[in-house]
Amino acid sequence: MPGRKSKLYIHLLFWILYYILEVYLDFYWSRYQFPNVEWQIRLQNTVILELGYLLVKIPLAYALLYVYERTDIRRFLTCILSVIIFIAAVLAHRFFTHYIIYPHIYGIVETLDGKQPSGFLNGLVAFNSFMDLVFMAGLIFGVEITRQKNLLKEQISKLKSEKLDQELTMLKAQINPHFLFNTLNNIYGMALKKADQTPDVILQLSKVMRYNIYDAAERYISIDKDVENIKDFLQIQKIRHHDLVIRFNENIDNPSQEISPLILIQFVENAFKHGVSETFGKSFIHIDIQLKNDVLHYHIENSKEEKPHGNSTKIGLKNIRRQLELLYPKHILTVETTNERYIITLIIDFNDTFRF
């Protein structure tokens, strides 16, 4: 329905502008053909004349558009029908000009040079009628093709946006659920021991889950909310990893800067799942978040075993990389690994980010 309204408005505007153009051109030309006629009468005749021509041109235009847009008609048949429509339009144009305009509007006989009478199908005047109709058809086809291309671009852009949303939703849904189950098991153990930290852990877990369920459903949130979620996540992990050394540095000059939720936390989750959790000795995780002049520098280092189990970390990083490609195509992500640690650095320039 919105597309039909848009088409109606565009075509209505086209015919208004086309009518004004034709009135201007014919009025300008009439002062040479009828130099002794007052301009008020010439203008009146031109206005009436072009209204009459619209009765020929509008049916021609939409008959051609109808044939052009029919996908069930073969190209050869389309050409034949277009020729027939044009011949009928030229005949109607000549009939209107020869038998109505000159004798009834101008009150004279149509002539070629001001002296010699013109026949109904004289070659020169028929060619003029043909060119007038071709000019009009070219304009309306140009307008309609441009409108359809713009509409197609909007539809493609909308489909791409919807596809991105669906893909991001699926990628976010792949975040590991083991964190929730392990935390609940730890809370259960703490409850059995009647540990004093139990209520605090439950509160922090509820905040993390609220963030993942509600805030993460938004396309963008403020970076201070995202950082707060990371802090809650780290506090819970401290309960699970008693020997864990956490260093967290934060320097944000614009807390309201928007970022896609769950991007930063995934690197931290990945560090615990494939790094800290596999470290049998003293484990550590160092996180540094810097936001200055709308440029984010995110740095994570975490401990690892010299010979980690399997290569499951590649799956998590693949997920994160795909999200970054969709959301921040010009990001810079570097992943380094040594015998003792993983090092990840992410740079996002929010000044050069596509928002969909």
Alpha-carbon distance of 3 to 199, in angstroms, equals 56
- For residue 110, how many other CB atoms are within 10 A of its CB? 18
For 243-290, the pLDDT digits (tens) are 788 899 999 999 999 998 888 888 888 888 776 655 556 788 999 999
- For residue 306, how many other CB atoms are within 10 A of its CB? 7
Is residue 186 within 8 Å of 201, Cβ to Cβ? Answer: yes
Cα four-point dihedral sign 212, 217, 223, 224: negative
> 277: closest CA among 342, 204, 196, 190?
342
For 213-250, the pLDDT digits (tens) are 777 778 788 999 999 989 888 888 887 777 788 899 99
**Identity of residue 159:** L
Task: Locate the domains of the chain by residue range.
Answer: 2-164, 200-352
For 49-61, the pLDDT digits (tens) are 888 888 888 888 8
pLDDT at 113 over 70: no
The pair of structure tokens assigned to 235 is 């506090």
Name the CATH superfamily for 200-352: Histidine kinase-like ATPase, C-terminal domain (3.30.565.10)
Please report the pLDDT score of residue 345 as a whole number: 94
Beta bridge partners of 303: 341
DSSP code of residue 275: T
Kindly give the residue spans of alpha helices, DSSP state H, lying in the chain.
2-33, 39-69, 75-96, 123-173, 178-193, 198-213, 223-240, 263-274, 313-327
pLDDT at 333 over 90: yes
